[in-house]
Amino acid sequence: MKLVLAAIAGALFAIGLLISDMTSPGRIVAFLDVGTAWDPTLMFVMAGAIGVYAPVAWIARKRPRPLFARAFHWPEATTIDLPLLGGAMIFGVGWGLSGFCPGPALVAAGTGRIDTLVFVATMIAGIVALRLVRR
C-alpha cells in the first residue's frame, strides 16, 4: 500500500512539474535572472505548493502517527552547520548554472535530452561520491 501511495504521489508531483513547465531549465534560469528577462512563474508555482503543503503539514504535526506508518520521520537536525551551508551553496550554484533542481531533473530525464541525462548522471555521481567520502 505504501508503495502504491508513493507512486501516486510521485506521479502527481511529476504531472504538476510538467504542467507548470518547471522541468524547463530555461524557465528556471529566467526566474533567477532578475536583471533582464525575469520570469516570475517559479514564484507562483512555489506559492501554490506552499499553500497546499502548509495546512497539510500543520494537520500532520498534530497527529500522533501517520495514516500508513508507525511513526513520522521528521528531520532530526535543527542546527545550521558547515555541511548544511556547503550543501546549500553547491545546490544553489548547480541550480543557477544548469536550471535543474533534482526532482524536476528526474522528471525531465524522461524526455531523453542529453543535457538532462548528463545532469542526472552527474547528480547521481555526486550522491555516490558523498556516500563514499562519508564512509
Residue found under cell 504535526: 61
CA distance 30 to 90: 19
Residue found under cell 534560469: 29
**Does the pLDDT at position 77 exceed 90?**
no
Q: Measured in whole angstroms, how far is the alpha carbon of residue 36 from the centre of its chain? A: 26
Identify the domain containing residue 15 by its residue range.
Answer: 2-134
**Does the pLDDT at position 62 exceed 90?**
yes
CA distance 18 to 110: 11
Q: In the chain, how many domains are there?
A: 1
Burial 41-76 (b: 16+ CB within 10 A, else e): ebeebeeeeeeeeeeeeeeeeeeeeeeeeeeeeeee
The count of C-alpha atoms lying within 13 angstroms of the C-alpha of 4, restricted to the half-sphere facing its C-beta, is 2
Which pLDDT tens digit goes with each residue over 4-34?
988 999 999 999 999 999 999 999 889 988 8
Is pTM, for the whole model, over 0.85? no
